[in-house]
Chains A and B, each alone.
Chain A
């Protein structure tokens, strides 16, 4: 019986395992050093905030794996020997595979800051990071101030986590507005304002120069590029993530920033595949980046790869881009592409409610009126409807006119679509 070995039990590894089981009788083994059972990484923040216990983040009951004949090995892979089709574990055990799936995920970026390896400096990616956080920043007596570097999704989560334990936070971001490398400026400023309203000391256009240790080798303060010293007991490194691939350096598998894969998600070595955060596409699909550290991407790659492994070669061919996040109390969803600056020939339509927590930005093609994508803040939208509209290449006028049909807000919620329509017409008339 063919033995499929999967390294990593995050969403990508677990999805490919589940789908292989649905399609076949192959022997499946998942190896993970991080945790015994699959848990939802995106929910780690809620454990720290006390919304959930760690076991609540596990989407399947513990006997699910044995019931589905998925073997779990709780160990660390230190090398992969592709010539012998073997993985070597820290415990000394070797596992022989017929096909190997690398789904090892990410680690936090470190850009060579002085002091970046001090005690009290960390990112937030793994379960171990969370455990470390409980030691360094359990409350505001032990951690009198936290500094967070990098205005991305993990940074804002970490800020919210700290705030839930009343730990003062200074949040340094390089850009003019929060996540403005991705969000158009009005959206970025909306989020910046909201983060500040939660008593976060958010500093735009500010970067960290170095981290200062105390006598015991623990972080004591940071110095910003503008020369300010900020005393703190914790530094959160949230300037993005990169693939977790160092153990593959001598494996013969071709690596760049990530593990290079073709459209079938196969690496340079036959029968070795890579999916999720650690995979790097040789030819990026559409407008997507070659490496996508996104939950949904990991899941969908797992679905596609299971087909290939089970005898139905399937290219990685994702549908329309979508994503979501939550910034403190503001939910964000996006469908299609909205760039921080409109692409050549495109324009943005912005609408923001006077309450300051709801907004919509739409990108469209000026000449053809084609709808390109939408960002919504504080308004829930139906994925299915936007997916269809993008496939049907609806115009921006059609989309704005029928936004109501795409609304996914709970019942009785106030729906601001007439206001949006009115403002859209006003801006169109102004430019016409």
Chain B
């Protein structure tokens, strides 16, 4: 390897510079971004609506023109030429520059919104947020906020990079339809519907509610202010709350059983949507080592336990036993404890054989921790947990997980950790869906007999860091809780070995599989059936 690299630097390099049309496209997008930068520095732009429109159109146009320059004159097929030569997509200098820029943006967005021009105490917005006021008034009759700016840019990113992704994978119907789906859900469910509903006169301060954003990803769903605002909106709010609860306990398990967690993670979810579109250029940067897999398993489930504890604490603290809400604090705690114990018992009884040793230890440990916290709640009353206020636990969660992990690290570090670092290591929703996918789902990726040549394209382009090849070259199905079903492993496979499927549960996990091609007697011998 070292020899090879030295040779390359001696003799010149493969094409990795941008072509002229790619440069023009980049320039168009940059001009759009530059308008936002001007606004950020409080340059007072007249006709804000026009400038905002120009900016967003230029950004979209730049991305789409770039896609055309990259893929337009090439035949349909896999377009990974030079991925590891290009600085931006191989953790080079520009990759780091972009990572630092994105990370800084997230820090300002989450913690220093006033820098973006958020008007304090009723003052009107200035700067970047002020630039977005016209669009916000148009949609809901209210001034913009930092979240409105973020939501708009987020949607623009998914739409424009979504078009780029569709262009890139135009030969692959699965990718085209799936990308259409994430673009739709982001635009309609995360952007237009909640923004417009929030602006309706008939609603009283209806909170921004993205219906597809399921707890625990939406960790403030059960916060008192959110519940109170929903309930203040009568049957509409109540319906939304009930839908939120049904999403967790009914809709999610059914869909995950039928299709695997992909129905959410790579078809509906906004975080997944951004990763699959704007993050696509960085998917190959995920860490494939077994060490990373180990960290992933402990980290993501720890976040889930943290999410459960903080949510239970918050709900418990405001429920009380005075009958203000339909549910009392005591009955709530008991039902949570019973639910989790029954869930654990069922998994233990029916699925114990499918769990690895460390998964068993982890499951027992985590259950004990949660039950211990519930017991402490029981004894300590509603105000505090040891010496922590419940809302302090909850706001720590919001800060560490909601802001730092999912935003600053998860998205800011796309060019370093790959596009799915948050989904893989941190998302509590992904942890729940992953458990369902591993234990109760019809979804699997099947391998095609003995056709694998161990080339490694599948593993390289797996954004979740799954070593797909390790399974494919043994002829095993890939059944991993982290798999989001993006379908790229199957797309990049040069020998047609991988296929995403929903099928019968029987024989789904086939770790005794052998590769096809031998005399049947020897195959039986190899699989230990003889």
Contacts and interface: CB of A to CB of B under 8 A. Distances in A.
Contact of B495 (A326, A384, A391): A326
B454 A59 contact: yes
Interface residues of B, number: 64
A383 B177 CA distance: 27
Nearest to A328: B77
Interface stretch (A110-118, A185-193, A296-304, A417-425): A296-304
B517 A318 contact: yes
Contact of A410 (B77, B173, B449, B516): B173
A128 to B, nearest CB: 9
Given A59-B456, A411-B500, A165 B14 contact: yes
B174 A43 contact: no
Given A50-B85, A51-B84, A318-B517, A130 B4 contact: yes
Nearest to B472: A59
B46 interface: no
A57 B500 contact: no
B138 interface: no
Contacts of B10: 135
Interface in A22-54: 40, 42-43, 46, 48-54
B519 interface: yes
B450 interface: yes
A364 to B, nearest CB: 22
Interface in A309-353: 312, 314, 317-319, 322, 324-326, 328-329, 331, 333
A88 interface: no
A19 B474 CA distance: 12
Contacts of A51: 78, 80-81, 83-84, 457, 460, 492
Contacts of B77: 328-329
Contact of B14 (A11, A139, A325, A414): A139
B14 A412 contact: no
A115 B453 CA distance: 34
Contact of A138 (B12, B83, B450): B12
Given A49-B82, A50-B82, A40 B451 contact: no
A331 B494 contact: yes
B457 A43 contact: yes
Contact of B494 (A50, A142, A326): A326
Contact of B449 (A50, A135, A387): A387
Residue among B3, B451, B520 with most chain A CB within 10 A: B451
A141 B13 CA distance: 10
B4 A42 contact: no
A55 interface: yes
A333 B522 contact: no
A307 B294 CA distance: 34
A382 interface: yes
A61 B470 CA distance: 10
A54 B4 contact: yes
B76 interface: yes
Contacts of B86: 50
Interface string B499-525: 111000000000000011111101101
Residue among B14, B469, B491, B520 with most chain A CB within 10 A: B14
Interface string B155-185: 0000000000000000111100100000000
B403 interface: no
A91 to B, nearest CB: 18
Interface in A47-96: 48-59, 61
B263 to A, nearest CB: 12
Nearest to A60: B470
Contacts of B13: 138-139
Contacts of A389: none
B397 to A, nearest CB: 35
A52 B84 contact: yes
Interface string B334-371: 00000000000000000000000000000000000000
Contacts of A164: 14, 81-82
Given A55-B1, A383-B449, A410-B491, A49 B496 contact: no
Contacts of B83: 50-51
B445 to A, nearest CB: 11
B473 A383 contact: no
A104 B83 CA distance: 32
Nearest to A304: B522
Contact of A134 (B8, B460, B469, B496): B8
Contacts of A391: 520
Interface in B53-79: 75-78
Contact of A303 (B16, B457, B526): B526
Contacts of A326: 494-495
B7 interface: yes
B7 A134 contact: yes
Contacts of B15: 139-140, 165-166
Given A130-B4, A331-B496, A43 B456 contact: yes
6 contacts: A40-B453, A61-B290, A135-B10, A135-B11, A300-B515, A409-B499
Interface of B: 1, 3-4, 7-8, 10-16, 75-78, 80-86, 171-174, 177, 289-290, 448-451, 453-457, 459-460, 469-470, 473, 487, 490-492, 494-496, 499-501, 515-520, 522-523, 525-526
Interface of A: 11, 19, 40, 42-43, 46, 48-59, 61, 130-131, 134-135, 138-142, 164-166, 197-198, 295-296, 299-300, 303-304, 307, 312, 314, 317-319, 322, 324-326, 328-329, 331, 333, 380-384, 387, 391, 408-414
8 pairs of A and B residues whose beta carbons are closest in the complex: A383-B449, A329-B77, A380-B496, A43-B455, A412-B173, A50-B82, A317-B519, A326-B494
Given A40-B453, A317-B519, 7 more contacts: A52-B455, A138-B8, A299-B515, A328-B75, A328-B77, A412-B173, A413-B173
